[in-house]
């Protein structure tokens, strides 16, 4: 083993609580990013990575999908990007002896934090049926084994192929090609748990499920409304864009149950003022909405906009846009006439004056951007809520003009690109036709399973082989206990991974771990050094080139793994030059150019400085590829989250020191919590009313009709400025409380931000 030794597991450390921070980044941000980097990787490796991250010729940071500005500042990186890079590029590797000394039963008892600290996975390992240990296996034997098990299935639909959003466009394209050539559309992905609600709502209203803005639009905007998103922690580089927008005169409104650091004030570590000053006051208005209250808020604002037009006809609505491009205005108006203000106030927890103020700001602004993330997508009514964003934007033509638009902020750095490349259980027919024409095999057309359905199908024995291209599905999906049982009910699980996580310990009868290169590492193939490409949240497609030597020689790139696996499984069943893909990734991009919409001439355009931007009808020319060819104003029945008496609604969120299921440390500096994650944030009045005390340990039970209670024991109560009735706890630990059947209507995304819970004093000390 090389590098820093792994730390011991910490299960119930003494938690320290201080007041939450109001400002994000600044000096602490820089220090926090550099210290672990230098400590863990050595100065040379650190300098190389931190100076080439998000730079031309360098690699794309994998911590989020935020776009890169055209005019880059030197070393455009953030604290959390640095953490993601150092976590991956650590020289610490898992030695062969580890597998002998750590039975799977023991790995099951370890925390995600401990697992992630063990170092990089560097050799393929296999667990045989009835064994409790992994042991090394050769690559060839691993591929032969998977081929044997897959080809023995009664139907290709008995296998599912998961993707996490770090996978490159090149890998994604050949992975979906392999899976469809094998004969199934079972391609669940992390998007199913993330922005699926966005894709559906935007697809139905404007015909494209992606942001209608580019990076430069932020600076041209007059008003930016940030809903259900915590950029200070999850998209820190967005704060730079917000600060620039602010300097150029934009107003910013934050809609969030929590007063997140960074939404309120921001210290830019890239500027001297950011380093020494008190930072920029970002939010002009902070609306502390109740969980799930956004749909009511948006309808109430739209109603006010319509009322303002009635009071002063011809001055408020963008009639030209509405008449030329939209359908449904009259029905929408009629529907909002009946909106009950009392319902709105109950659902949002806001005052009339607050909502009036937001509506006034909206009407006064020429160019408005609305951004959102998981605070909107992970609710039962997520899809109609996002449709209400579109409605509000349409009213004043805030689509397809500079400084305005709908801006879902995607999470995983290439989750958007993976979808573009065909990772979806229900890709549209034109894509399937193009795939079939290019490769000449019959592409299966029946829709496959999504993540939640995948768990159900494993539980019921319909899916027998689970193959994962990255990620940590059992920890990331709702209802962890049910998900784990389902995974253990399979015949074979295969994980292509960089580091150890819970999904390696929750296994089928047989299991394989296939170690892969990370994005930071130089990818050498027979055809020379390779680069890959990714798409950010603003539809910009860019190359990414690894910069440091791989931590060990035994790993394969994701492209090599898929190519070799496909060749082993399919033999000569399809005429595809898999070996050629591995040799030279340009050959993959040639196919992408012919199959994927708007990717013509991919190999040339990806080599242009800065890559290229994918076309987007609504953004570029106000053309809306919906069935009607128009932007659809929709009518959505308001339904707000009811909290039964004596109960709370729980949202599950990220701390400042984690990337999804990867835990960098047990601290959440911005929320003032140190040395522990087993906490639940509760409004002080609720703490009192429930007869509890600040700091007390509680057991949490989640209640869902038709199900037995789910439980998570021993969380410490933290009095926190969250609205009455709205609690918060960290994912993935709290996933055990999210019922598998509680999902967003239409998108089937787990409703991870609205779990009905009951707190009881802890039964154990």
Residue ranges that bind Mo ion, judged by CB under 5 A: 194, 411
- Nearer residue to ligand MGD within complex by CB, 594 or 713: 713
- Nearer residue to ligand MGD within complex by CB, 193 or 757: 193
Residue 702 found at the interface with ligand MGD (CB under 6 A): no
Residue 375 found at the interface with ligand MGD (CB under 6 A): yes
Q: Which stretch binds ligand MGD (CB under 6 A): 13-21, 172-180, 619-627, 659-667?
A: 659-667
Shortest CA distance to 379 belongs to which of 764, 752, 763, 6? 752
One-letter-per-residue 3-state SS of 130-192: CCCCCEECCHHHHHHHHHHHHHCCCCHHHEEEEECCCCCHHHHHHHHHHHHHHCCCCCCEHHH
Q: If contact means CB under 5 to 8 A according to the sort of partner, which of ligand MGD, Mo ion, none does residue 87 touch?
A: none
CA–CA gap between residue 164 and residue 179 (Å, rounded): 15
Exposed / middle / buried, residue 345 (Cβ in 10 Å: 0-12, 13-18, 19+)? middle
Question: 583 with 524: CB under 8 angstroms?
Answer: no
- Nearer residue to ligand MGD within complex by CB, 268 or 651: 651
User: In the β-sheet with 285-287, what is the strand arrangement from edge to edge?
Assistant: 285-287, 251-255, 223-227, 368-372, 405-408
- Choosing from 185, 229, 302, 367, the residue that interacts with ligand MGD (CB under 6 A) is 229
Alpha carbon distances (Å) from 630 to 166, 326, 626: 34, 5, 6
- Choosing from 176, 299, 530, 662, the residue that interacts with ligand MGD (CB under 6 A) is 662
CA–CA gap between residue 276 and residue 272 (Å, rounded): 6
Residue 33 found at the interface with ligand MGD (CB under 6 A): no
CA–CA gap between residue 552 and residue 548 (Å, rounded): 11
DSSP 679: E
Residue 733 found at the interface with ligand MGD (CB under 6 A): no
- Choosing from 472, 520, 719, 747, the residue that interacts with ligand MGD (CB under 6 A) is 472
Shortest CA distance to 265 belongs to which of 248, 288, 242? 242
- Nearer residue to ligand MGD within complex by CB, 255 or 613: 255
Residue 294 found at the interface with ligand MGD (CB under 6 A): yes
The per-residue b/e assignment along 305-335, b for 16 or more CB within 10 angstroms, e otherwise, is: bbebbeeeeeebbbeebbeebbbbbeebbeb
Residue 169 found at the interface with ligand MGD (CB under 6 A): no
Q: State the nearest-atom distance from the C-beta of 506 to Mo ion, in Å.
A: 21
- Choosing from 217, 219, 260, 536, the residue that interacts with ligand MGD (CB under 6 A) is 260
Q: State the nearest-atom distance from the C-beta of 755 to ligand MGD, in Å.
A: 8
Residue 37 found at the interface with ligand MGD (CB under 6 A): no
Q: Which of residues 558-587 bind ligand MGD (CB under 6 A)?
A: 558
Cα dihedral sign, 310-313-319-323: positive
- Nearer residue to Mo ion within complex by CB, 193 or 569: 193
Residue found by looking up tokens 């910069």 in the block: 547
Total residues contacting ligand MGD by CB under 6 A comes to: 62
Q: State the nearest-atom distance from the C-beta of 191 to Mo ion, in Å.
A: 7
Alpha carbon distances (Å) from 307 to 175, 223, 315, 325, 762: 52, 20, 11, 22, 51
CA–CA gap between residue 283 and residue 287 (Å, rounded): 10
Q: If contact means CB under 5 to 8 A according to the sort of partner, which of ligand MGD, Mo ion, none does residue 658 touch?
A: ligand MGD
DSSP-derived 3-state class of residue 514: strand
- Nearer residue to ligand MGD within complex by CB, 499 or 616: 499
Question: 530 with 152: CB under 8 angstroms?
Answer: no
Count the helices and strands in the chain (H runs, E runs). 31, 31
Q: Which of residues 379-408 bind ligand MGD (CB under 6 A)?
A: 379
Residue 347 found at the interface with ligand MGD (CB under 6 A): no
- Choosing from 22, 46, 371, 735, the residue that interacts with ligand MGD (CB under 6 A) is 735
Q: If contact means CB under 5 to 8 A according to the sort of partner, which of Mo ion, ligand MGD, none does residue 407 touch?
A: none
- Nearer residue to Mo ion within complex by CB, 229 or 544: 229
The per-residue b/e assignment along 695-717, b for 16 or more CB within 10 angstroms, e otherwise, is: eebbbbbbbbeeeeebebeebbb
- Choosing from 654, 669, 710, 716, the residue that interacts with ligand MGD (CB under 6 A) is 654
Query: Taking CB positions, which residue lies at the least distance from Mo ion?
Result: 411
Exposed / middle / buried, residue 55 (Cβ in 10 Å: 0-12, 13-18, 19+)? middle
Query: Taking CB positions, which residue lies at the least distance from ligand MGD?
Result: 411
- Nearer residue to ligand MGD within complex by CB, 46 or 451: 451
- Nearer residue to Mo ion within complex by CB, 282 or 738: 738
- Choosing from 256, 270, 544, 743, the residue that interacts with ligand MGD (CB under 6 A) is 256
Contacts of 516 (CB under 8 A, 6+ apart): 470, 496, 497, 498, 555, 556, 557, 558, 561
DSSP 708: P
Residue 258 found at the interface with ligand MGD (CB under 6 A): yes
Q: Which stretch binds ligand MGD (CB under 6 A): 132-140, 150-158, 255-263, 420-428?
A: 255-263
- Choosing from 54, 157, 198, 498, the residue that interacts with ligand MGD (CB under 6 A) is 498
631-632 and 326-327 as β-strands: parallel, antiparallel, unpaired?
Answer: parallel
Residue 149 found at the interface with ligand MGD (CB under 6 A): no
Residue 677 found at the interface with ligand MGD (CB under 6 A): no
The distance from CA 145 to its chain's CA centroid, rounded to whole angstroms, is: 32
Exposed / middle / buried, residue 360 (Cβ in 10 Å: 0-12, 13-18, 19+)? middle
Residue 237 found at the interface with ligand MGD (CB under 6 A): no
- Choosing from 234, 240, 251, 299, the residue that interacts with ligand MGD (CB under 6 A) is 234
Q: State the nearest-atom distance from the C-beta of 297 to ligand MGD, in Å.
A: 8
Residue 63 found at the interface with ligand MGD (CB under 6 A): yes
- Nearer residue to ligand MGD within complex by CB, 431 or 659: 659
State both tokens at 547. Answer: 């910069």
Residue 658 found at the interface with ligand MGD (CB under 6 A): yes
- Nearer residue to Mo ion within complex by CB, 716 or 753: 753
Interface mask toward ligand MGD for 185-204; x: CB under 6 A: -----x--xx----------
- Nearer residue to ligand MGD within complex by CB, 293 or 397: 293
Residue 683 found at the interface with ligand MGD (CB under 6 A): no
CA–CA gap between residue 645 and residue 626 (Å, rounded): 43
Residue 82 found at the interface with ligand MGD (CB under 6 A): no
679-682 and 710-719 as β-strands: parallel, antiparallel, unpaired?
Answer: parallel
Question: 722 with 167: CB under 8 angstroms?
Answer: no
Residue 518 found at the interface with ligand MGD (CB under 6 A): yes
Q: Which stretch binds ligand MGD (CB under 6 A): 34-42, 179-187, 368-376, 607-615?
A: 368-376
Q: Which stretch binds ligand MGD (CB under 6 A): 124-132, 418-426, 470-478, 671-679?
A: 470-478
Residue ranges in 188-237 assigned as alpha helix (H)? 196-206, 217-220, 231-234
State both tokens at 635. Answer: 């009518």
- Choosing from 188, 731, 756, 759, the residue that interacts with ligand MGD (CB under 6 A) is 731
Contacts of 434 (CB under 8 A, 6+ apart): 594, 595, 596
Shortest CA distance to 428 belongs to which of 541, 277, 596, 305? 596
Q: State the nearest-atom distance from the C-beta of 170 to ligand MGD, in Å.
A: 13
Contacts of 656 (CB under 8 A, 6+ apart): 80, 232, 233, 667, 668, 669, 670, 671
- Nearer residue to Mo ion within complex by CB, 65 or 389: 65
Residue 742 found at the interface with ligand MGD (CB under 6 A): no
User: Which residues on neighbouring strands pair with residue 680, listed in sequence order?
Assistant: 717, 729
Binding site for ligand MGD (CB under 6 A): 63-64, 80, 164-166, 190, 193-194, 227-230, 233-235, 255-258, 260, 289, 291-292, 294, 373-375, 378-379, 411-412, 469-473, 476, 496-499, 501, 516, 518-519, 558, 651-654, 658-662, 731, 734-735, 738, 752-753
């Amino acid at each position: 083993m090389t590098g820093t030794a792994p730390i011991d597991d910490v299960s119930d450390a003494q938690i320290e609580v201080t007041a939450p921070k109001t400002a994000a980044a600044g000096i602490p941000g820089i220090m926090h990013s550099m210290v672990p980097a230098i400590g863990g990787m050595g100065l040379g490796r650190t300098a190389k990575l931190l100076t080439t991250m998000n730079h031309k010729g360098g690699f794309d940071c994998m911590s989020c999908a935020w776009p890169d500005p055209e005019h880059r500042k030197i070393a455009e990186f953030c604290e959390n990007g640095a953490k993601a890079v150092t976590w991956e590029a650590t020289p610490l590797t898992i030695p062969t002896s580890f597998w002998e000394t750590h039975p799977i039963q023991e790995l099951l008892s370890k925390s995600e934090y401990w697992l992630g600290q063990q170092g990089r996975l560097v050799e393929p390992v296999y667990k045989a049926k009835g064994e409790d240990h992994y042991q090394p296996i050769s690559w060839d034997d691993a591929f032969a084994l998977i081929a044997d098990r897959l080809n023995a299935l009664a139907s290709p639909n008995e296998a599912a192929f998961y993707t996490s959003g770090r996978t490159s466009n090149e890998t994604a394209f050949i992975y979906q090609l392999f899976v469809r050539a094998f004969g199934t559309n079972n391609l669940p992905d992390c998007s199913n748990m993330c922005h699926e609600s966005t894709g559906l709502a935007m697809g139905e209203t404007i015909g494209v499920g992606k942001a209608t803005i580019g990076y430069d639009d932020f600076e041209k905007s007059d008003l930016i409304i940030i809903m259900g998103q915590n950029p200070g922690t999850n998209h820190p580089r967005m704060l730079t864009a917000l600060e620039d927008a602010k300097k150029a005169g934009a107003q910013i409104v934050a809609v969030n149950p929590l007063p997140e650091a960074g939404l309120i004030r921001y210290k830019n570590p890239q500027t001297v003022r950011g380093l020494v000053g008190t930072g920029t006051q970002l939010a002009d208005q902070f609306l502390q909405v109740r969980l799930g209250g956004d749909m009511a808020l948006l309808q109430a604002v739209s109603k006010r906009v319509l009322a303002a037009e009635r009071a002063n006809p011809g001055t408020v609505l963008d009639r030209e846009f509405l008449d030329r491009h939209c359908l449904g205005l009259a029905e929408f108006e009629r529907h909002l006439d009946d909106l009950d203000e009392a319902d709105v106030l109950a659902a949002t927890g806001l005052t009339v004056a607050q909502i009036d103020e937001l509506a006034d700001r909206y009407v006064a602004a020429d160019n408005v951007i609305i951004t959102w993330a998981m605070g909107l997508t992970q609710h039962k009514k997520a899809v109609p809520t996002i449709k209400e964003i579109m409605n509000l934007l349409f009213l004043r033509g805030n689509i397809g003009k500079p400084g305005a638009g709908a801006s879902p902020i995607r999470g995983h750095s290439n989750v958007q690109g993976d979808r573009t490349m065909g990772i979806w259980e229900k890709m549209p027919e034109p894509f399937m036709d193009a795939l079939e024409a290019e490769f000449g095999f019959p592409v299966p057309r029946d829709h496959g399973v999504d993540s939640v359905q995948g768990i159900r199908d494993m539980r019921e024995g319909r899916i027998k082989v689970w193959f994962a291209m990255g990620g940590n599905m059992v920890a990331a999906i709702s209802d962890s206990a049910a998900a784990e049982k389902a995974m253990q009910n399979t015949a074979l699980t295969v994980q292509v991974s960089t580091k150890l996580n819970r999904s390696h310990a929750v296994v089928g009868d047989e299991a394989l771990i296939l170690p892969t290169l990370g994005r930071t590492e130089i990818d050498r193939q027979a055809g020379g050094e390779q680069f890959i490409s990714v798409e950010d949240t603003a539809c910009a497609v860019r190359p990414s080139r690894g910069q440091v030597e791989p931590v060990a020689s035994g790993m394969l790139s994701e492209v090599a793994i898929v190519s070799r696996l496909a060749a082993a499984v399919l033999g000569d069943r399809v005429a595809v030059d898999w070996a050629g893909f591995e040799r030279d990734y340009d050959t993959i991009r040639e196919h992408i150019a012919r199959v994927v919409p708007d990717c013509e001439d991919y190999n040339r355009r990806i080599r242009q400085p800065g890559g290229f931007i994918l076309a987007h009808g609504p953004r570029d020319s106000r053309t809306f590829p919906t069935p009607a060819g128009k932007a659809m104003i929709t009518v959505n029945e308001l339904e707000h989250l009811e909290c039964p008496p004596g109960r709370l609604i729980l949202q599950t969120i990220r701390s400042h020191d984690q990337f999804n299921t990867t835990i960098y440390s047990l601290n959440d500096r911005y929320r003032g919590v140190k040395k522990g994650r087993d906490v639940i944030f509760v409004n002080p009045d609720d703490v009192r009313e429930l007869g509890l005390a600040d700091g007390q340990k509680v057991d949490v039970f989640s209640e869902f009709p038709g199900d037995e209670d789910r439980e998570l024991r021993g969380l410490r109560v933290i009095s926190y400025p969250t609205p009455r009735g709205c609690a918060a706890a960290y994912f993935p630990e709290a996933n055990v409380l999210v019922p598998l059947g509680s999902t967003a209507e239409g998108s089937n995304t787990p409703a991870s931000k609205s779990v009905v819970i009951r707190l009881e004093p802890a039964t154990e000390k």
